[in-house]
Structure 1
Amino acid sequence: MPVSQTLLAFDYGTRSIGVAVGQTATGSASALTELRARDGIPNWDQIQQLLEEWQPNLVLVGLPLNMDGSESDFCKRARKFANRIHGRFGHAVEMVDERLSSFEAKEEHLAGGGSTHYRDDPVDAIAARIILETWLGSEV
């Protein structure tokens, strides 16, 4: 593994896809943006722009497992999204258990004074950052 890796993480959803960036050297992660999606289909040009801008060594995609660790119905869609990133752009992609990331993101958002109108706020980008932090924590 290189001394320092740049990571790009996605919290996949049918209406919105959260994006975060992180570094293995510093163990840090930051929420970046949210991309709009139509029934889970993003604007692939926006994905390409992010990949070109950040040049990640690895792309992470949240895997929405059930609380008991079994695969949810939505896991298939998240895997398809990950496979498309790999197929279209040639980036290595890993799936990351994202259980409770959206719950944690909403709690963090509200604690920071954010509104409960999540459509107007960056909760999915915060969830992507939490997914990235989960991966960083598992690599220690």
Structure 2
Amino acid sequence: MKILAVDYGDSRTGLAVCDPGEILATPLKPQIEEKAMAKVADRICQAARDNRAELIVVGLPRNMDGTEGARAQKSRKLAALVEQASGLPVRMWDERQTTITAAGFLSESGTFGKKRKAMLDAVSASVILENYLAWRKNHPGEQ
């Protein structure tokens, strides 16, 4: 199944998609730089159509103790908008530490400055997707 992952942020939103075999997560470019939630939702829905996604996974930014704050509520609201507009199932997925992991990958590859800024959220979305795919592999039949 093709799955689209979303790393929603105040300034930028990153997207990633997997292959139908659910093996490889690939960051999508360019990142979404819209700030209005409705516009971000529209761009996510367009990306889902363009990539023939059957499921959308939205990162849920929980606090390190597992509680949810204002940022998590914004992500839940975006997920609801996307689910309604796309007609696709949307799942929330814990995104704690994904930006740190993505930044580490970019540092290892020597990506810094403007180039890093232009990719960080999309790479974070691919980390979210990789984590979700690993969970699915270990929980067959569940979404």
TM-score by length of 1: 0.88
CA contact (8 A) 1:16 1:35 kept: yes
2:6 maps to: 10
Change (3 A) 1:19 1:51: same
Specify the alignment match of 2:127 in structure 1. 130
Q: Does structure 2 conserve the Cα–Cα contact (< 8 Å) formed by 1:10 and 1:18?
A: yes
SS at match of 1:71: coil
Aligned pairs for 1:94-105 (under 5 A) are 94-105=91-102
1:22 match: 18
* Equivalent-residue separation in structure 2 for 1:44 and 1:96 (angstroms): 17
SS in 2 for 1:21: strand
1:1-140 equivalent positions in 2, closer than 5 A: 5-23=1-19, 25-33=21-29, 34-38=31-35, 40-117=37-114, 120-140=117-137
1:137 match: secondary structure: helix
Segments of structure 1 that go 5 or more residues without pairing to the other structure are none
2-side partners of 1:139 and 1:45: how far apart? 27
SS at match of 1:79: helix
CA distance in 2, matches of 1:7, 1:48: 12
Percent of aligned pairs sharing the same letter: 31
Report if the CA contact (8 A) 2:42-2:82 is conserved. Answer: no
Cα shift at 1:23: 3.1
Where is the strand percentage greater, Structure 1 or Structure 2?
1
**Partner Cα distance (2:81, 2:115) in 1:** 27
Between the two proteins, the alignment pairs up a number of residues equal to 136
Q: CA RMSD in A?
A: 1.9
**Mapped contact 1:10–1:61 kept (Cα < 8 A):** yes
Corresponding residue SS for 1:74? helix
Q: Tell me if structure 1 keeps the 8 A contact 2:6–2:15.
A: yes
Normalised by the length of structure 2, the TM-score is 0.86
Report which stretch shifted further, 54-63 or 36-45.
36-45
One-letter code of the match for 1:62?
G
Question: Structure 1 residues 136, 44: closer, same or farther in 2, change over 3 A?
Answer: closer
Residues of 1 paired with 2:100 and 2:38: CA distance?
Answer: 23
Question: What secondary structure does 2:70 align onto?
Answer: coil
